[in-house]
Chain A
């Protein structure tokens, strides 16, 4: 969190984390397409020729003034592919809240778990831990046939009982609820600690 008193700005950094092709970029694209252009900046995507995120996607959104303060939310995604582990780590620098976008398909369960463990170890390197850090889970791709039940996903991934949402990011289902929830958690977290 970065607070600039002169400009009365409060800046939060939210990172969308998850395995490759789980829908992190789709979340940002939906938010970008739906918000009033005056409240959102450009969506920047650093993609490979194959349309996979190579470094990150970035977008800033605003919600107007609140009690004279201007909160700004900087949304980032990380690349999901295993070989971009290094870029995932650096994007977590200064993070305030995390959305873990899990792929609901049974054959991606292992990738979900692996990425969650990778997230935990990256957070630990920075002195954080999933146990106390503000984060939420989105079980994405609920519209696909044969997806894992939410019960199973909860048991295997949500071991700290954080808020979880079902999503179909490409259609926007669950996208705003997920983002709202993580922002609320971050703000609550700051409030509790002052």
Chain B
């Protein structure tokens, strides 16, 4: 599983190791090749972009991830209001030139597939479903759990960050 730690104050820390990141990027590449999707994003439910593939140079994918996460959040509230007990699993936005297909990956992550209207939705659905299975397998594999995270944020880091903030906020 992706390393998730709960801190004393209740906040959540999610740690993705190198092998998982490489695996996720590989699945995204395969999906991009198979579906001819214009762009594919993998992000976590708090809106954090994790990996992307496809033609994303002219797309603000950081913002797209934040908006997609809130899309999920808003529709899960909608689900409650209409008496659906689980969350909606997938969201689909249909446009004139492009469509966006969003699907959750477990409870904490989701996939965004942006594709031209010329690509069949059925194909996207089938290939995305397979990709989600692969992603779940990768996220559940903790054989390569990172060991260095304990040293990540020490007092040295805090004071250097403080200096960097002073510099940035001059």
Binding site for B on A (CB under 8 A): 1-7, 10-11, 13, 34-36, 39, 41-42, 44, 55-56, 58, 60-61, 63-64, 66-67, 69, 71, 74, 76, 86-87, 89-91, 93-96, 123, 126-129, 132-134, 176, 179-180, 183-184, 187-191, 193-194
Q: Find the B residue at minimum CB distance from A179.
A: B169
Chain B's interface size range is 35 or more
Chain B residues positioned under 8 Å from A11 (CB to CB): 48
Partner of B146, one of A5, A36, A95: A5
Measured CB to CB, the residues of B under 8 A from A are 6-18, 21-22, 44-48, 50, 60, 62-63, 66-67, 69-70, 73-74, 76-77, 146, 148-150, 152-158, 160-162, 164-169
Question: B153 is contacted by which of A13, A44, A133, A194 (Cβ under 8 Å)?
Answer: A194
Chain A to chain B contacts (Cβ below 8 Å), 20 pairs? A2-B44, A5-B148, A6-B17, A13-B47, A39-B168, A63-B165, A63-B167, A74-B66, A76-B47, A93-B46, A93-B69, A123-B10, A127-B6, A180-B169, A184-B161, A187-B153, A189-B7, A190-B13, A191-B154, A191-B155
Q: Is the CB of A2 within 8 A of B14?
A: yes
A1 and B3 CA atoms in complex are apart in Å by 12
Closest to A127 in B: B10
The docked-state distance in angstroms from the alpha carbon of A25 to that of B161 is 25
Asked if residues A69 and B152 are in contact (CB atoms below 8 Å), the reply is yes
Beta-carbon contact of A90 and B13 below 8 Å: no
B104 to chain A, nearest CB (A): 13
Provided the pairs A1-B11, A66-B160, A190-B13 are in contact, do residues A74 and B47 lie with their beta carbons within 8 angstroms? yes
Q: What separation, in Å, do the CA atoms of A58 and B22 have in the docked complex?
A: 28
Provide the main secondary structure of the chain A interface.
Answer: mixed
- Contacts across chains A and B counted by CB atoms under 8 Å: 161
Q: How distant is B76 from chain A, measured CB to nearest CB, in Å?
A: 8
Question: Nearest B residue to A71 by beta-carbon distance?
Answer: B161
Known: A2-B14, A69-B152, A91-B70. Is A189-B9 also a contact (CB below 8 A)? yes
Question: How far is A95 from B10 in the complex, measured between Cα atoms in Å?
Answer: 10
Contacts of B9 in A (CB 8 A): 128-129, 132-134, 189
A184-B44 contact in complex given A2-B14, A126-B10, A189-B7, C-beta closer than 8 Å: no
Known pairs A5-B146, A10-B153, A58-B67 / 4 extra A-B pairs, C-beta < 8 Å: A13-B46, A61-B168, A180-B162, A180-B166
Kindly name the residue among A1, A42, A55, A132 whose own CB sees the greatest number of chain B CB atoms within 10 A: A1
Whole-angstrom distance between the alpha carbons of A89 and B76 in the complex?
12
Query: What residues of chain B lie closer than 8 Å to A96, measured between beta carbons?
Result: 11
